[in-house]
Structure 1
Amino acid sequence: MAPKVLVSDKLSETAVQIFRDRGVEVDYLPEVGKDKEKLAEIIGDYDGLAIRSATKVTEKLLEKATKLKVIGRAGIGVDNVEIPAASKKGVIVMNTPFGNSVTTAEHAIALMFAVARQLPEASVSTHAGKWEKNRFMGVELFNKTLGVIGAGNIGGIVIDRARGLHMKVLAYDPFLSEERATELGATKVELDELLAKADFITLHVPLTEKTRNILSAENLAKTKKGVRIVNAARGGLIDEAALAEMLKSGHVAGAALDVFATEPATESPLFGLPNVVVTPHLGASTTEAQENVALQVAEQMADYLLTGAVQNALNMPSVTAEEAAVMGPWIKLAGHLGAFVGQMTDEPITAVNILYDGVASGMNLNALNAAVIAGVMKAANPDVNMVSAPVIAKERGIHIATTTQDKSGVYDGYIKVTMVSGDRERSIAGTVFSDGKPRFIQIRGINVDAEIGEHMMYTRNKDVPGVIGTLGMTLGGLGVNMANFTLGRAANGGDAIAITYLDEPLRDDVRQALLATGKFIQVRPLRFEV
């Protein structure tokens, strides 16, 4: 019996036809996504659900989706899908992460032109019958310095287009290597240098705790007088109130925003200010981009339903059904190892070296590598998944090296991940026990045996008496409960580390209290998707 797909949002006719041509039965009901009662009533008949942003896939809806195997989102954002609930139900969630990259990059360039020449205001003035030629004095982009914050897929396209306009490009990105920057034709700099030198600044980073308000009042004050700022990436990257004040003072000459901290944006301190160009999140709104993501999601869903092939999945590795049963715990371990080293550095990553020992060396290393890289990069970009991570790592110039070896120790197999950043290396190794649970077995060359939980704390200290007591007393005094604890040392009196499994995220006041004891060299919170 042919698999059956429901398209519950507007999708191109060509995409719908792809399902039919591939032998998949399809019902095109583009309005049903807005009717949650009707959708819940019929969803039990379908193997696949193709959506855009209107359909909300909730845990309650998934309870009714008794046959559902795959959800395909035409586009990158999956805020309208409860992925943990889908995973629990065994439903794969796919997206199309690269289908609108060119369109979004072009919109950023268009905004740059618009704010440089005050095009929207000049258009309104001329439509009103005025001829204010002297009022709208613009600036050229030629030979100006463009600061690009975030040099990934979209940022790289913006750099390429800017170089075609003969702009000088400065790029700030923790994952950008010198080699990749040279290849792009940009100069790799730190954020403060970019802020001080750029005539135009454009943002192309995801919204994370590290990037939220990256253009804060403090950082906006570091910018060059007369700078023009463009944001077609994510709302929340700029302190909009602070930007408004800088525009009023004249320090910032203009701004162009396609995204806002609160959307739909019906009010903003930026609205009504001169030389502020605003658009309603149009970054992906071109005919070509909408067609591209629709065709991609149809192909991906059809491939999975007919052959079992998995592409661009957010909650499942790209492995065959036969491999999945054996590799599942090892893929989880690989992701944890990557997440550990990714969270342990704030410096640009230049290389990731992965060693597979024993039974691990005979598995699907592409999937394991992807899990490691995704884990590494999620600290900076939570949108990364196992499919997109290797592509993004390649774009950023991060070198990935894989080594295999026969069983060399007491474990049947293990994975060791070494991350290189500058002249420093950080390494961690782990294995899967017979109960199927991943464990950390070595950190920085020090042997440990650490159970992995959602909220953990890494501490480093000198091997002296009283450290464990201080740790326990401090945590206990601040009401923090330890679920598990393991420690190890390099040598008597040398470096020592501890991994503590906590019941809740490590609070900053707890971290500061531990450092204040003078017993700890380093205290760092860790989080894992268990």
Structure 2
Amino acid sequence: MTRPKVLISDKMDPNAAKIFEERGCEVDVKPGMTPEELAAVIGEYDGLAIRSATKVTPAILDAATRLKVVGRAGIGVDNVDIPYASGKGVVVMNTPFGNSITTAEHAIALIFAVARQIPEADRRTQAGEWPKNDFMGVELTGKTLGLIGAGNIGSIVASRALGLKMKVVAYDPFLTEERAVEMGVEKADLDTLLAKADFITLHTPLTDQTRNILSRENLAKTRKGVRIVNCARGGLIDEAALKDALDSGHVAGAALDVFETEPAKDSPLFGTPGFVSTPHLGASTTEAQVNVALQVAEQMADYLVNGGVTNALNMPSLSAEEAPKLKPYMGLAEKLGSLVGQLAHGNLTKISIEREGAAAELSGKPIEGAVLAGLMKQYSDTVNMVNAPYLAKERGLDIRSVRHEKEGAYNTLVRVTVATDAGDRSVAGTLFGNENPRLVEIFGIGIEAELAGHMLYIVNEDAPGFIGRIGTLLGEHGINIGTFNLGRRDAGGEAILLLSVDQPIPDTVIKAACALQGVKLVKALAF
């Protein structure tokens, strides 16, 4: 039997090559190749192990005639064209948890740095000054740390902060009361956290929901003298607003390891009193680099030799026999998870995934994974069908999977119900012709719709003239309607409108729609 052949094209811990060899792969280590040099040799390999330097472009993938898997030692895969790789049948893997401790420790280090003004004190001391009276820091003991994001890294930061005798208040839509007790933190909404925290640290990915989560408005809600640390993603903080808050003294100190634009060479924050910066060093420790290298080698070797799939960004955990039958169900399940994730309000505590009729006869795990992937994509930028269940459980989300063998109104049905602070929210869908996903119920209202592209969700009073008003509004703004789907509880009661459009819907149109007579809620959706 021919041994799979792997190329390591970036500088990586030498133990990674040993793992490949021990697990039955041939391996070549050739860091520093130009794109042309890589394209010339990639056709010889089944696997490509990279860090951030190698760019896996369409040109490289076109030349990779036998490539089966690309493994990124680290989280970020901006240097890999994942859609193109998927079209080529190439699995893309990463190692999303290999640098968690390192990043958490860097956040703690920056908390100390802003608490005691260490960088500025060091600079002036080494310049020959002795500015002892210019630096009055604050103790961490007894202070409240506000944790925005209580996942893997956030939970590690919480444990370290508790060890420093800090109090920890955490905001995370997926944090349950039980998980908060287990972590030893107080669960709170965002406004409460902003009002209570002496220090705030962010540990959430950058998504539509988290972009500028510390906006100018939210920074104004913080207590005077707060200190802020971000080792997660650039774009979580309005950097211009943060500078103004530092200049005014409302924010006493801030430390950023990540910036909205990187490399950050001319940030307006540079030179601002109380500001500390590092050049995206969260994962930069010897231990983290070793961990991610070993993990990517183990994952890739397992896939190439045994067919096992771990932390794949574009492939579910499926056997070859199950895949054809499950593929349309997984498409339906992911759309339902995405829909309920975009529409549900408040903290999510439980999720129930029910399968009826033909869906009940299939393996539940891939369908469950697809639902969770759709749901978690609203909050995480590295989620996939493999790691979504882990991410959900890590946040304490209670997951319940139920199969009903008895056929109901539809030959096959998948229902997703989430429990939130505002009550249960449920959506259901089926397959037309055993392959075309369709929404058939949303929050108890029957409605048939295809979930795709850009959509507008409206809850309104069922009254004459509304359809004309919304159609006119969209037409006036040059927005073309693709499909128009209606449902209502009863005549004159609450109604739902779900329509698809040909382009993203601007915020100005959302606000205008909210102002229409009889409208209760307007939400832009994307699939």
- Give the drift of 1:384: 2.0
Counterparts of 2:108 and 2:511, CA distance in 1: 44
**2:7/2:30 contact within 8 Å kept:** yes
2:268 equivalent in structure 1:
269
1:403 equivalenced with 2:402 (yes/no): yes
> Which amino acid is the alignment partner of residue 329 of structure 1?
P
Cα distance, 1:462 vs structure 2 = 3.2
Counterpart of 1:385? Answer: 384
- 1:113 and 1:477, CA in 2 relative to 1: closer, same or farther beyond 3 A? closer
> In the superposition, relative to structure 1, how do residues 227 and 489 fare at CA in structure 2: closer, same or farther (>3 Å)?
closer
Alignment of 1:11-22 (within 5 A): 11-22=12-23
2:138 corresponds in structure 1 to 139
Which one is further off, 241-250 or 203-212? 241-250
Q: How does 1:96-175 map to 2 (within 5 A)?
A: 96-175=95-174
Segment of structure 1 superposing worse, 513-522 or 233-242: 513-522
Shift of 1:129: 4.2
Q: Which amino acid aligns with 1:2?
A: R
Q: What is residue 369 of structure 2 aligned with on the other side?
A: 370
How many angstroms apart in 1 are the aligned matches of 2:154 and 2:375?
20
After the TM superposition, which parts of structure 1 deviate over 6 Å for at least 4 consecutive aligned residues?
none
For 1:505 and 1:180, how far apart are their aligned partners in 2?
Answer: 37
- Does structure 1 retain, via aligned residues, the 8 Å contact 2:96–2:382? no
Matches within 5 A, 1:65-80: 65-80=64-79
One-letter amino acid matched to 2:341: G
SS of corresponding position for 1:350: strand
Q: What code does the residue aligned with 1:99 have?
A: G
User: Where does residue 57 of structure 1 map in the other structure?
Assistant: 56
Pairs within 5 Å for 1:319-398: 319-398=318-397
Q: Distance in 2 between matches of 1:482 and 1:457?
A: 10
> For residue 264 of structure 2, what is the amino acid of its counterpart?
A
> Compared with structure 1, are the counterparts of its residues 267 and 23 closer, same or farther at alpha carbon in structure 2 (3 Å cutoff)?
same
Matches within 5 A, 1:244-263: 244-263=243-262
State the Cα distance separating 1:105 from its structure 2 match. 0.3
Moved more, 390-399 or 309-318: 390-399
- Give the structure 2 partner of residue 91 of structure 1: 90
User: Which runs of 5 or more residues in structure 2 are unaligned?
Assistant: none
1:23 equivalent in alignment to 2:24: yes
Provide the C-alpha distance between the structure 2 equivalents of 1:151 and 1:313, rounded to a whole number of angstroms. 23
CA contact (8 A) 2:345 2:422 kept: no
CA distance in 2, matches of 1:6, 1:417: 42
CA contact (8 A) 1:337 1:429 kept: yes
The one-letter amino acid of 2:362's match is M
Pairwise CA distance, 1:198? 1.5
Q: For residue 452 of structure 2, what is the aligned residue in structure 1? A: 453
What amino acid is aligned across from residue 30 of structure 2 in structure 1? L
Shift of 1:460: 2.4
Deviation at 1:286, TM superposition (A): 0.8
Q: Deviations over 1:85-104 (max 9, x none)?
A: 11121211111111111110
Aligned residue in 2 for 1:483:
482
* Alpha-carbon contact 1:308-1:321 (below 8 Å) kept: no
Equivalent in the alignment of 2:309: 310
In structure 1, distance between residues paired with 2:217 and 2:495: 38
Shift of 1:435: 5.4
How much does 1:78 deviate? 0.9
Listed one character per residue, the Cα deviations across residues 52-108 of structure 1 (whole Å, up to 9, x for unaligned) are 111111223222222111111111111111111111212111111111111100000
When structure 1 is superposed on structure 2, of 21-30 and 406-415 the one drifting more is 406-415
Which residue number in structure 2 is paired with residue 498 of structure 1? 497
Residue 443 of structure 2 corresponds to 444
CA separation of 1:135 and 1:466: change in aligned 2, threshold 3 A: closer
The answer (yes or no) to whether the contact 1:416–1:429 under 8 Å persists in 2 is yes
Q: Which amino acid aligns with 2:354?
A: L
Aligned to 2:39: 40
Cα distance change, pair 474–219 in 1 and its aligned pair in 2 (3 A)? closer
- Is the CA contact (8 Å cut-off) linking 1:359 and 1:407 kept in structure 2? no
Gapped runs of 5+ residues in structure 1? Answer: none
Task: Give, in angstroms, the shift of residue 156 of structure 1.
Answer: 0.9
With 482-491 and 464-473 compared, the bigger mean Cα shift is at 464-473
The farther-off stretch of 35-44 and 268-277 is: 268-277
The offset of 1:464, in angstroms, is 3.2
- What's the offset of the Cα at 1:240? 2.4
CA distance in 2, matches of 1:474, 1:228: 44
User: Residue 230 of structure 2 aligns to which amino acid in structure 1?
Assistant: N
User: Is the 8 Å Cα contact of residues 328 and 434 (structure 2) preserved in structure 1?
Assistant: no
Aligned-partner Cα distance in 2 for 1:469–1:137: 64
- The residue that corresponds to 1:468 in the other structure is 467
Relative to the length of structure 2, the TM-score reads 0.95
After TM superposition, give the deviation of residue 158 of structure 1 in Å: 0.5
Q: Percent identity?
A: 60
- Alpha-carbon distance between aligned partners in 2 of 1:273 and 1:488, rounded to the nearest angstrom: 55
Q: Read off the aligned partner of 1:286 and give its amino acid letter.
A: T
Shift of 1:166: 0.5
Counterpart of 2:216 in structure 1 is: 217
8 Å contact from structure 1 (residues 357, 408) kept in 2: yes
2:31 alignment partner, SS class: coil
Counterpart Cα distance in 2 of 1:116 and 1:477: 53
Structure 1 distance, partners of 2:497, 2:117, is 57
> Equivalent residue of 2:243, what SS?
helix
Looking at structure 2, the residues matched to 485 and 312 of structure 1 have their Cα atoms a distance apart, in angstroms, of: 38
Alignment-mate amino acid for residue 361 of structure 2: G
**Contact 2:346–2:422 under 8 Å retained in 1:** no
Q: Does residue 228 of structure 1 match 2:224?
A: no
Distance (Å, rounded) in 2 between the aligned partners of 1:212 and 1:463: 35
Tell whether the 8 Å contact from 1:309 to 1:320 is kept in structure 2 after alignment.
no
Alpha-carbon distance in structure 2 between the residues aligned to 1:475 and 1:238? 32
Matches of 1:423 and 1:515 in 2, distance apart? 21
Question: 1:6-42 deviations in whole A, cap 9, x for unaligned?
Answer: 111111111111111111111111112xx11111222
TM-score by length of 1: 0.95
* Contact 1:148-1:170 at 8 Å conserved across structures: yes
Deviation at 1:519, TM superposition (A): 4.1
1:241-279 deviation per Cα after TM superposition (whole angstroms, max 9, x unaligned): 332232233332222211112111222222233442211
Choose 517-526 or 46-55, whichever is displaced more: 517-526
- Aligned match of 1:293: 292
Secondary structure of the structure 2 residue equivalent to 1:311: coil
Bigger mean CA deviation after superposition, 21-30 or 456-465: 456-465
SS at match of 1:143: coil
**Count of residues in Structure 1 that have an aligned counterpart in Structure 2:** 526
CA distance in 1, matches of 2:255, 2:468: 55
Distance 1:519 1:143 in 2: 50
Shift of 1:410: 4.1
Distance 1:116-1:450 versus aligned 2 partners, 3 A rule: same
Choose 209-218 or 55-64, whichever is displaced more: 209-218
Taking a change above 3 Å as real, the CA distance of residues 458 and 287 of structure 1, as seen in their structure-2 partners, is same
